[in-house]
Copies of this chain bind each other. A is one copy, B any other.
Amino acid sequence: MAAAADGGTHLSGSVLIIGTGLLGTSIGLGLSARGADVVLSDLSPSTEAVARDIGAGRLLSTAGEGFEPALVVVAAPPDVTAPLAAAALKDWPAAVVVDIASVKSAVLADLRERDADLSRYVGTHPMAGREKSGPVAARAELFNGMPWVICPPEEAAPDAVRCAEALAFDLGAVVSRMSAEEHDASVALTSHLPQVMASLVASRLQETPPQSLALSGNGLRDVTRIAASDPNLWVQILSGNAGRLVPILHGVREDLNRLIRTLEDPVADGARLDMAQLIAEGNAGQARIPGKHGGPAQTFVSFTVLVDDTPGQIGRLLTEIGEIGVNLEDLRLEHASGRQVGRAEISVLPGRVNDLVSELSARGWKVVQ
């Protein structure tokens, strides 16, 4: 386990959290559970009161005259992160200040313009979240096992970087380090591009007749799942990384134009070859996405088992897979349209699939694929 045991932290001294939404409050809960002294502050008195009431820490307003945090975590929306971090660096001249905004270069550039003391600043990005927001949705375990990217500026002192890493480490996150530029280039491709493309697909469904939508399958559901995102947050994220995202979208537009040209005249010379090329390029890109546990791209084998949609059926299936002694690498449930029948897609290592399929069939399970 990378996380510190409950009751101990790698951080020392008090931690001030500015912004007690989902992420700030989750950090407070996680650090408090490990015994750290956590102090909370939010523009909204009711929001910070909720965070305190659920155990994320005590309030800054009651912390008293001599309070000096060793670490300040700015956990505010991206738009106000830089001014709040600059103010924190001034207000607490002995503290390390980290922020957790999901774009990093714009925050750093803004802090440079404000002549902030960057030796005590470290930008970070915990890649965790949930669909709900606000302190009530916070969870101490939110960051457990999730990536947390640390982006120190050149000026950052080694102690400041160690402090930022200790924060992520104490919360059980998987720490990696890169520059703000590298981070923003990476998330433009791996997070912001899929986000906007999902929205563009979902947007087309606004006027679709219900009988057409009845043919929706897992393909459409997968592609559009993240389209159910908060517009206000995403405007801040996309604007904050626009310089990285625009060239990628220009590339998408070129490919889209290429595709539209082939489809407008599919019998033209070379049209079908070009169409096949576009799909093959997608194959090549998709195959590069790393698999489970950050390892090489997925090499599991999948098959499907039909299950009744009643309580305990899936549990029984997975218990039997455990009894057979095969480790489940991935699992997805799929539901038959209009029927109380489910399909469980089971992924395992290729070497185990034949044994497992025979054994499950022998136990009476209907294995489809």
Contacts and interface: CB of A to CB of B under 8 A. Distances in A.
Interface of A: 2, 127, 130-132, 137, 139, 141-142, 144-147, 149, 174, 176, 178, 182-183, 185-187, 189-191, 193-206, 208, 210-217, 219-232, 234-235, 238-239, 242, 245-246, 248-253, 255-257, 259-260, 263-264, 266, 271-272, 275-290, 292-294, 302, 304, 306, 309-323, 325-328, 330-333, 335-341, 343, 366-369
B275 A235 contact: yes
B283 A229 contact: yes
Contacts of A211: 178, 182, 186
Given A186-B211, A256-B200, A224 B191 contact: no
B279 A190 contact: no
Given A189-B212, A231-B279, A306 B144 contact: yes
Contacts of A335: 292-293, 330
Contacts of A332: 331-333
A53 to B, nearest CB: 18
Contacts of A225: 219, 222, 286
27 contacts: A132-B369, A142-B368, A147-B215, A174-B336, A174-B337, A174-B338, A186-B208, A199-B279, A199-B281, A200-B259, A201-B282, A202-B285, A205-B288, A221-B289, A222-B223, A224-B286, A227-B283, A232-B276, A234-B275, A234-B279, A238-B275, A239-B266, A249-B256, A256-B256, A314-B328, A315-B320, A315-B328
Interface of A is mostly: helix
